[in-house]
């Protein structure tokens, strides 16, 4: 079990990471806040370049923009895949649906088939406490990255997110991560069936 305390930066130019959880710590949901979409995309591209499936495991990432009303718009769900084949956009979409209530997700269509599976996950794992912890991490008018990673402390991940205004992390246990990945596989299969 871990009981991490928020870190205090030495000066205002450093990244602030807030984390608190009781879990086996197998995975971490991270929400990073950026001033604009270009900065979020730059971080996304860095994450994509460092993920190798062995030392740096990133299960899913999605780039979003939060409008002035607080509604989230997915900027683009990419087809970049993990080494195990799941698309980052699909996993990221499931994570988005687990963390944020449907009322703030403006681009619900991007969740597609993930919507039903995500609803089941929200109920199954009673994610209100997780949502409360993470959903306000991206300020209105800002953009962000929502990611499921295995080791957020990896130097490469920290460097990729170092331009963020702040990163809020919540450790999730292996069961939740497996359920997220299973929901993503289900959504991916439904998408393929619909396209056929």
Blockwise average pLDDT, block size 10, the chain, 196 residues: 44 45 63 94 90 81 87 68 54 66 52 50 52 80 88 84 92 76 74 72
**Where do the structural domains in the chain lie, given as residue ranges?**
22-195
Whole-number pLDDT of residue 10: 43
Whether 69 contacts 119, CB under 8 Å: no
Give the integer Cα–Cα distance in Å for 169 and 145. Answer: 12
Give the integer Cα–Cα distance in Å for 3 and 139. Answer: 26
Q: Please choose, from the candidates 2, 49, 83, 12, the residue with its C-alpha nearest in 3D space to the C-alpha of residue 159.
A: 49
Whole-number pLDDT of residue 150: 82
Give the integer Cα–Cα distance in Å for 137 and 26. Answer: 22
Beta-sheet strands, E only, within the chain: 16-19, 27-34, 58-66, 72-76, 143-149, 166-172
The SS3 call for residue 72 is strand
Q: Convert 12-39 to b/e letters by CB count within 10 Å (16 or more is b).
A: eeeeebbbebebebebbbbbbbbeebeb
């Amino acid at each position: 079990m871990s009981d991490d305390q928020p870190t205090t930066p030495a000066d205002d130019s450093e990244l602030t990471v807030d984390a608190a959880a009781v879990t086996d710590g197998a995975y971490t949901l991270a929400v990073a806040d950026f001033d604009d979409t270009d900065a979020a995309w730059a971080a996304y591209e860095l994450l994509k370049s460092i993920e190798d499936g062995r030392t740096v495991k990133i299960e899913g990432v999605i780039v979003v923009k939060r409008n002035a009303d607080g509604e989230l718009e997915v900027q683009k769900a990419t087809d970049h895949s993990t080494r195990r084949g799941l698309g980052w956009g699909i996993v990221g979409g499931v994570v988005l649906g687990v963390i944020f209530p449907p009322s703030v997700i403006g681009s619900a269509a991007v969740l597609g088939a993930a919507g039903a599976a995500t609803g089941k996950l929200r109920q199954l794992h009673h994610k209100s406490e997780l949502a409360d912890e993470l959903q306000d991490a991206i300020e209105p008018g800002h953009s962000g990255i929502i990611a499921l990673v295995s080791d957020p402390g990896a130097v490469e991940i920290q460097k990729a997110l170092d331009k963020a205004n702040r990163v809020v992390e919540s450790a999730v246990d292996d069961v939740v991560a497996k359920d997220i990945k299973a929901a993503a596989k289900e959504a991916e299969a439904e998408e393929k069936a619909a396209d056929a």
